[in-house]
Amino acid sequence: MINAQIKTDIKKDRFTYLRDSYDAEKCKNIKSFIDDFPNSKAEMNYGGSEKRIWMAHRYGNESIIDFVNFSNSLVSQLCKQSMAPLNVLAYSNLPVEITDNRLTKGRWHYDSFSKLFKVFLFVDDITENNGCMEIIPRTNGVFKLKKIFENNFLFHYRHIFNKQKRQAYDAISDSKIQKILDKGHKKKSLTGSQGDIVLVDTASLIHRASPCREGKRYLLACYYPKVI
């Protein structure tokens, strides 16, 4: 399943697709699991439009457990050692009020300064309208290193001298992102069909969930602490 090209793509681009790689019936089953899961037991964000079910593989849904096993085998092949996820997140997004800046702005971020690698299953079709993930390619490596030392991009110097070490990398303002785009970086929308899988090094690439405008987005994500 993991071939040399996939390894090369991840090493170079920090993400890659495995198209049409998971069974449609199992995807439908996962979709029902997310829909049927009580909101009261889920984490609800963005004014109730986002439903997050953490440790989703602990609720006995066989389609989710199957996917986690499949995902583990992919990542274990990449890392050449047996890997299990730190967490498994099943989530859905409904449309947000697009004029409400609190729901649509401030979404760009790096996930972490240490390693974090995610395997995403497109539980249903994902489009530019229903809240696809967007990444900014080539924001890893030297780019990220420079931004760590650029005052007030990820950190302000005051973060170093006081105890208020807010994780500035978890919310990079839209105006800072616009400057990066103005300098020639391009956003990439990770759209796809039900059953597609995307592997992303989310600690290395600036990314966000774009605001859902219509329809509903369903995703399953396995989180790993290591990446090639």
Whether the CB-CB separation of 96 and 46 falls below 8 Å is answered with: yes
Q: Which is nearer to Fe ion, 28 or 107 (CB)?
A: 107
* 39 burial level (CB within 10 Å; 0-12, 13-18, 19+): exposed
Q: Smallest distance, Å, CB 162 to Fe ion? A: 26
Q: Smallest distance, Å, CB 82 to Fe ion? A: 25
Q: Smallest distance, Å, CB 95 to Fe ion? A: 20
Q: Which is nearer to Fe ion, 63 or 227 (CB)?
A: 227
Q: Which is nearer to Fe ion, 202 or 204 (CB)?
A: 202
Q: Smallest distance, Å, CB 209 to Fe ion? A: 8
Q: Where are the beta strands (DSSP E) in the chain?
A: 15-18, 43-45, 50-53, 87-93, 117-122, 133-136, 188-190, 197-200, 206-209, 217-224
Please give the DSSP secondary-structure letter assigned to residue 157: T
- Give dist(CA 202, CA 48) in Å, integer: 24
- Give dist(CA 92, CA 22) in Å, integer: 18
Q: Which is nearer to Fe ion, 111 or 124 (CB)?
A: 111
Note the residues at the interface with Fe ion (CB under 5 A): 111, 202
Cα 47 versus chain centre, distance: 20
Q: Which is nearer to Fe ion, 97 or 170 (CB)?
A: 170
- Give dist(CA 54, CA 218) in Å, integer: 14
β-pairing, 188-190 vs 133-136, is antiparallel
Q: Smallest distance, Å, CB 154 to Fe ion? A: 14
**Residue closest to Fe ion, measured at CB:** 111
Q: Smallest distance, Å, CB 161 to Fe ion? A: 28
Q: Which is nearer to Fe ion, 50 or 111 (CB)?
A: 111
